[in-house]
Chains A and B, each alone.
Chain A
Amino acid sequence: MKDYLNSKAAEYSFLLDWLDGEIHNLQTRNANHPCIIRCLQDKLRELRQLHNRLKIIAGLGSDKLAPRAIPIIHDMEYQVLILTHYIPGLQRENSDDIFFRGLVLSVKDRCGLSWIEDILVRLDGHHAIFPVMPEIPIVFAPPHHVVSTLDLAAIYHELGHDVFQRLKEIGDNMGAAAFLYYFNLKQSAGTMAPEKRKARDNTIRAAGNYWNMERLNEIFSDIYAAYVCGPAYYYSCVDFVIRLGRNPFLINPTDVHPPWAARVHAIYKTISVNYQNDGVINWVQKIWEGYTASQQKNVDFEMFCPTALMDQFVDVANRNIQRLLPAAQRYSDPLQDSPITGGEPQDKSLERILNNRLKMLYTDPGRYAEWEKKVFDIFKTSSRS
């Protein structure tokens, strides 16, 4: 073990020097992200402290202390992974990434994300976020976002992960809601044969365990996105499921995402407060109902994702957003016809534009290409000013 620890210390010594050099080069060449560079330097300092401990343990050769080196090595691997997510992103950042970064940063105050100091964007993948340092998350998005708003509402879901990461009590509160639901369900059995009760209890336990931290994170991020972005996020999800042919009732034990039917229900429940009788929402709802009616329902769906539990999640998440993110604005503007009839939109907020987009797709899809082009002209003009 001692030899192995010495070899790891030597390898990391070389790797850390390389990381140091890369961060130093970024500091001199990339003036756009002083905050991110500072955080990476802090991260490197953490890594050096871990490395120092590893070297001391290896040097002492004590059998008693050697086991403490293994979690240090695992920790270092993870810290290196974090740095190597940021460094290539900063090195390859281009004008499209910078444009999109501006767009995402423009929503942060309305979304209550006061702790975010900077964002690194990588327009080279699917929508995702790396929120391990919530003040400087990496946002991944598809490259078409430099010309298209298609699926752009998904960005709010990704920002929801940043909220969940930053405000840890939200996860505990959502988890407590799931626990309480299944606890009450278990108590409500009444008289039952012992074998039948045991089988029922086992199913309830499995359903309760299904709602682990990752799935609570996903459902919260949906509710948050619906809260701040409104109907545009609802439509974006319905569209995503239908065009990719997903079975919305599928409970996949290896997928951290809950089934789409549960997610869309929670999203609809969140926006319906303000849009109950809106024609556009009714239109989207009918599309969704038509699609789900054609899909086979999983037998476990009602136990794992009951409507009452989803409603509980919406209630808890909304109350947590209001209490912990008081600056987050709930999107409630009436859905208006496309405002671009020659002039600029009355309101250039991304949420407003994405919701105008939905209304325009409903009323006049033939004008979509023209609308899209004008929107991006506005975005680019705003980003230059």
Chain B
Amino acid sequence: MNELGAISGKVQREVELLRELNSALLTLEASALDRISDFGFSSDDVAKSRGFLLDFVKRLCSALKQESPPLHLQPIVDHLKSGMKPIKDWIEDLESLAGLIQSNNKLTDDSLAILEDILSLLDTQFTDDLQRLYAR
């Protein structure tokens, strides 16, 4: 019995979220730069990406308010809770970000920075676990 089953299972869950989040962010950023045709994205893709980001932000916000967050969001919740920024500030930022996404207004650099920070945390967690897979 070794660690492959548990670790690879975790890595797989992480990459699914990471890919969706990165892809949604890329779509919106490409849209903001008028580059969606370069990637072959349609306006429907942009709308879907907004929808995904809105759903993700709401889920994360709800997880931060819960005592027992869903398992797949646990690492990021722990990370945010152990950081310097107070958790109520994270919740406030995420709530205003959700409002902005919902309003269909263009996302500001500040709001994109919040998503980039979260994505960066997820990516770090993923690559740490990927190292564990390489090491076995």
Contact = CB atoms under 8 A, between A and B. Distances in A.
Task: State yes or no: do A and B come from one complex.
Answer: yes
Interface string A127-143: 11111100000001000
Interface string B22-49: 1001100110010100110000000000
B71 A213 contact: yes
B89 interface: no
Q: How extensive is the interface on chain B, given as a class? A: 35 or more
Nearest to A57: B26
Interface in A49-88: 53, 56-57, 60, 62, 64-65, 67-68, 70-72, 74-75, 77-78, 81
Given A68-B25, A175-B68, A179-B68, A74 B126 contact: yes
Nearest to B119: A71
A168 B22 contact: no
Q: How extensive is the interface on chain A, given as a class? A: 35 or more
Contact of B1 (A70, A126, A180): A126
B65 interface: no
A352 interface: no
A154 interface: yes
A70 B119 CA distance: 11
Contacts of A221: 5
Given A74-B123, A175-B68, A67 B133 contact: no
9 nearest A-B residue pairs (beta carbon): A161-B5, A179-B68, A214-B6, A128-B4, A132-B12, A217-B6, A68-B26, A71-B22, A175-B71
Interface of A: 53, 56-57, 60, 62, 64-65, 67-68, 70-72, 74-75, 77-78, 81, 126-132, 140, 154, 157-158, 161-162, 164-165, 168, 171-172, 174-176, 179-180, 183, 209, 212-218, 221, 240, 255-257
Given A68-B26, A75-B18, A213-B74, 17 more contacts: A64-B33, A65-B30, A71-B18, A72-B22, A74-B18, A78-B126, A130-B4, A131-B9, A131-B12, A165-B12, A174-B71, A175-B71, A183-B67, A183-B68, A255-B3, A256-B6, A257-B1
Interface of B: 1-13, 15, 18-19, 22, 25-26, 29-30, 33, 35, 38-39, 67-68, 70-72, 74, 78, 116, 119, 123, 126-127, 130, 133-134
